[in-house]
Amino acid sequence: MKPGSVFDQTGLNLKMINWFQTPPEPFTPGELLFWDDPHISGQMLAAHLNPKNDLASRRPETIDRSVNWLVETLGLDAGSAVLDLGCGPGLYAIRLAQHGLKVTGVDYSRRSIEYAIQDARKQNVDIEYRYQNYLQLADLEQYDAAVLIYGDFCPLSPDERRQLLHNIHKALKPGGFFILDVTTREHRKLHGCVNNWYVAENGFWKPGAHLVLEEGFDYPDQSIFLDQAIVVETNGKLSVYRMWFQDFTRESVTTELENEGFMVDSVWNDLCGTPFEDGTEWIGIIAKKK
């Protein structure tokens, strides 16, 4: 059998496909760095820039509300340094910079960073953008605030979350703010497990014809969820894409932050200033470096 192929000497290897439908150990990786894939990154960029849905980024009106609320709530002044982690095409960064803030955006999608750089030039806004894995961030006490928005904390494994929090803690000035939002089990209940298949001539995962087998795996005892897509191309090549999500409670996210040297300043239903209530789908957190 060819490596990565679903065909063997007898034809279609259903046992191989079935093996991938067995729930893997939490945070077992699939295809590595697939968000930087030339085709997938183009699909993601289009989703980020689509103002009619919240699939990759929140709608423009929500981003406007969030940025305005954060700048006011944190008391950020012109010249305050802000680190936008997982900045994508710069939808938050450009708005933060238009408030007079000194913004650095970091993302591991080359296509998104290239778009963000060009957009900042068009709008004559000065932003530093970096194509970088924020798990390798090494900045030291440079920022008044760091933001990680739209659940980007949730796909990371426990070790990756600890590393990221360590990096952010070092990057913030004493007393600097760390702002993030995370999903809860209520969010998972509403969206549930997908079990679906379809054939595409040119789709999200591949530019040519391919079969997609979608399945969701729930790990309720650990508040972990997996969205998995098995993609089979016409030549038999098989790719497995895995999107892991760690859901949180107010208590669990507070514990993780405190263990890495942060103090939770306030907790919200979102990052637009909606007061916190039990049963929320999202938790917005403003924390401070101790």
Joined tokens for residue 142: 């440079």
User: What would the pLDDT profile of 237-275 be if each residue is shown by its tens digit?
Assistant: 999 999 999 999 999 999 999 999 999 999 999 999 999
Burial 32-64 (b: 16+ CB within 10 A, else e): eebbbbeebbebbbeebbeeeeeebbbeeeebe
CB 164 within 8 A of CB 153: yes
Among 3.40.50.150, 3.20.20.80, 2.40.110.10, 3.30.460.80, name the CATH number for the domain at 50-183+248-289.
3.40.50.150
CB 121 within 8 A of CB 147: no
User: What would the pLDDT profile of 164-211 be if each residue is shown by its tens digit?
Assistant: 999 999 999 999 999 999 999 999 888 778 899 999 999 999 999 999
- String of DSSP letters for 131-160: E--GGG----S-EEEEEE-SSTTTTS-HHH
How confident is the prediction for the chain on average, in pLDDT? 94
Burial 232-249 (b: 16+ CB within 10 A, else e): bbeeebbbbbbebbbbbe
Q: Calculate the CA 290 to chain-centre distance.
A: 25
Query: What's the pLDDT at 15?
Result: 78
Query: What's the pLDDT at 2?
Result: 42
> 105 pairs with which residues across the strands?
84, 129
How is the chain split into domains, by residue range? 7-21+187-246, 50-183+248-289
